[in-house]
Structure 1
């Protein structure tokens, strides 16, 4: 069984939002993402990167926007595949599934952002496609959310709900350190 780390959308747009006052559910996410990368790389295990490029030029993630740049903690190394997506799931209209299958990848460890958007969409689809998925709960980026009635849900609660939606049904949820120790 070959496992790969899939790092989703660890881009500067998320840093800009945090710096604008939008707290992350995991303040230590960057450190945990870097630890996962170091763990996989130290074992010569595959690392795949997914970057979001919005189609609207006003989008913080548009390829020409500063927000599309990769955060330093998640910079791809030479030879690590980078998949560009324009939708929530990294599997839609990309070569990700074909690339993973060609590389013999059966298991994915997922980290990145946003937990309740692209990570959740990609995790569900990966599971539906037959991949075994582990989700690094402390290596996920997310923000609070506003409900339709105007109430604000704190980032930690949004993250907890995303993890509850995925755990057991679509993924095994674990701390980054436990996932690294199991490599």
Structure 2
């Protein structure tokens, strides 16, 4: 597993370094392997409130796709062998109002963990899905590194944690 993560980290790092030269503007989709497609679909629909996108008929029985805006998607693929509490995967989503997002999550019976960021005194909300993927909600425009740099940093952090 760590060998796969090392290869993935090297690939993402290569893309991050060459992002400008390759003309990367944003990501198209993120694929998340899940243990139970039905359970995950419920979470992504009812908790996160994401809109389902049509999946090609040949793979519709094992996948669910969700639009997060600007042509970007989260794609769930059934086949994760077992649920895990910690995947090392953190997906940051920008929201127009952190307060409203927190209220909506509460109304849906979900408790989000609020954490104050060390830079700029801003807060973030964190929610885990049924497979342990962490969603981080931030308010406003992204001024930090792009998706590729964030993914590389997240993968590196998960690989270097002491177990």
TM-score (norm 1): 0.26
Q: Which one has a larger percent strand, Structure 1 or Structure 2?
A: 2
User: Between Structure 1 and Structure 2, whose CA radius of gyration is higher?
Assistant: 2
TM-score (norm 2): 0.28
